[in-house]
Amino acid sequence: MAKEGTCKASDCARQVVGKGYCRKHYRLWKAGEMPKPRYKICTAEKCRKPRFHGSLCEEHFNAQRRAPATPVSAPAAPAASA
């Protein structure tokens, strides 16, 4: 059950299947291999919020900025002598 028209990918004249792409290009689009990305969401694990800066949402971007670059361990306190 193809839709009317031809694929919107350059140099492709196949029938449209979904989102304006033919079967081949639609599959590539779903896999994220087309020039225009499928989704513009945060890349943090299990986060589906819209991107804010770079590849992160506002919450993860701010958390990354606040986190220290390398955690510094405090030296162990000397044992008290009794």
Write out the two tokens for 31: 């896999």
User: pLDDT tens digits, the chain, 82 residues: what are they?
Assistant: 446 789 999 899 999 998 899 999 998 888 767 777 667 788 888 888 888 888 888 999 999 888 776 655 656 666 666 5
What is d(CA 55, CA 22) in angstroms, rounded to the nearest whole number? 28
pLDDT of residue 61: 92
Which domain does 57 fall in, by range?
Answer: 37-67
* Assigned domain for 45 exists: yes
Are residue 59 and residue 43 in the same domain, yes or no? Answer: yes
pLDDT of residue 43: 83
Are residue 3 and residue 27 in the same domain, yes or no? Answer: yes
- Residue 37, classified by CB atoms within 10 Å of its CB into exposed (0-12), middle (13-18) or buried (19+), is exposed
pLDDT of residue 74: 57
**Number of structural domains found in the chain:** 2
